[in-house]
Structure 1
Amino acid sequence: MASKRIAQSAVNWTSLAERVPAGQKAMLTAFKTKSDNYLRRVLANPESPPKIDWSFYKGRVAVAGMVDNFQKQYEALKIPYPADNYTSQVEAQAQKGMAAVQEFVKASNGRIAAAQAEVAKINAMLPYSEMTMEEFADAHPELSISSTNPTAWPHTPEDQKAAENVEHH
């Protein structure tokens, strides 16, 4: 009976626990315990207030009209169930988050495809230990020593900067 009013907001704790990092499991357990305590307290109360036997009180109370007045006021009293103002905001935020996740997944898949293409290219190459200098120059023209890319001995980047400064003066 009381579970009908809670069923809409039930949390899937197993699914939530799968997404929580290992370092935050204790906080999730504490949160679940607190939530379960609140749920127990809500379920301990009846869904609707108990019915009052007004005829019993009319026979016992000597003041005329007092019980009728209380009955009228009691039945007129309506305590509204709190309005749900946040579910739509949370769902909108979740949709925005899912859109960002989908965009990230799409971008990541593009990076993965590019990395796999690079790995396939490297795997298709001849190992450096088996390459000749000409094969290395064909594979990496930007790194090779050639007439279009001359370098000074010992061909290290630091020494090339020094050689450029000397040549320009």
Structure 2
Amino acid sequence: MAARRIAQSSINWSALAERVPANQKTSFGAFKTKSDIYVRAVMANPESPPKIDWAYYKAMVPVAGLVDSFQKQYDALSVPYPKDTVSPQVDAEIKESQSEIASYKKVSEQRIQNYQKEIAHLKSLLPYDQMTMEDYRDAFPDSALDPLNKPTFWPHTPEEQVGYKSKEQIEAEKQGHH
């Protein structure tokens, strides 16, 4: 299998540079420089080795059969091109990451819709400086004070209320300690 010659880099360096964090720009620049040096070195060599003029050597070398032997060995020589065993793994990882990205996008779009509903709800409310306690109770029933149904004591934090038990106390009761 003969390797095909790549005329130019398949890497979109400008698109890749946009994704590099600011603290890694110098490392990215060094990597790109090394890559460019390698590509120039490869491109400096011809795609195929130069042809050997075997007739010239047959005429110049006095030992009979020596050039024919070299020519036969040279023609039989083939440098194997490494087989691509990694591309299927990379393709599988790409498909897996694309499905993860798609599911993340779907979940993110749902979150965005929920946040937009919350924003619309908050925009529909009266400004806080114009709200009365009753308006606040109607807008936020879970966090509003309800002195009739759920009376609380100042400073109205859960820890200061009658019957409050900490997580440690609840755990101790579950384990049978009092």
TM-score by length of 2: 0.80
Q: Which moved more, 1:93-102 or 1:53-62?
A: 93-102
Match of 1:128 in 2: 128
Match of 1:149 in 2: 150
Task: Give the percent of matched residue pairs that are identical in Structure 1 and Structure 2.
Answer: 49
Per the TM alignment, residue 8 of structure 1 is displaced from its structure 2 partner at its CA by: 7.5
Match of 2:174 in 1: none
Per the TM alignment, residue 117 of structure 1 is displaced from its structure 2 partner at its CA by: 0.7
1:56-93 alpha-carbon deviations (Å, 9 max, x no partner):
11112122111111111111111122222223322322
The question of 1:102 aligning with 2:102 is answered yes
The 1:100/1:43 distance shift into structure 2, 3 A limit, reads: same
Match of 1:73 in 2: 73
What is the total number of aligned residue pairs between the two structures?
Answer: 160
1:84-113 alpha-carbon deviations (Å, 9 max, x no partner):
222332232222222212211211111111
Q: List structure 1 runs of 4+ shifted beyond 3 angstroms.
A: none
Alpha-carbon separation, structure 2, partners of 1:9 and 1:36 = 9
Match of 1:55 in 2: 55
Alpha-carbon separation, structure 2, partners of 1:88 and 1:12 = 22
Alpha-carbon separation, structure 2, partners of 1:87 and 1:122 = 51
1:118-147 alpha-carbon deviations (Å, 9 max, x no partner):
111111112232222222222222222232
Match of 1:23 in 2: 23
AA in 1 matched with 2:66: M
| Structure ranking higher on relative contact order (CA contacts 8 Å, 6+ apart) | 2
- Stretches of structure 2 lacking an aligned partner (at least 5 in a row): 165-178
Report the structure, 1 or 2, having the larger helix content. 1
Per the TM alignment, residue 155 of structure 1 is displaced from its structure 2 partner at its CA by: 4.3
Match of 1:114 in 2: 114
Alpha-carbon separation, structure 2, partners of 1:56 and 1:106 = 71
Tell me if structure 2 keeps the 8 A contact 1:136–1:144. no
RMSD between aligned alpha carbons?
2.0
Per the TM alignment, residue 9 of structure 1 is displaced from its structure 2 partner at its CA by: 5.5
Match of 2:89 in 1: 89
Per the TM alignment, residue 29 of structure 1 is displaced from its structure 2 partner at its CA by: 0.9
Tell me if structure 2 keeps the 8 A contact 1:57–1:67. yes
TM-score by length of 1: 0.84
Match of 1:164 in 2: 163
The 1:159/1:47 distance shift into structure 2, 3 A limit, reads: closer
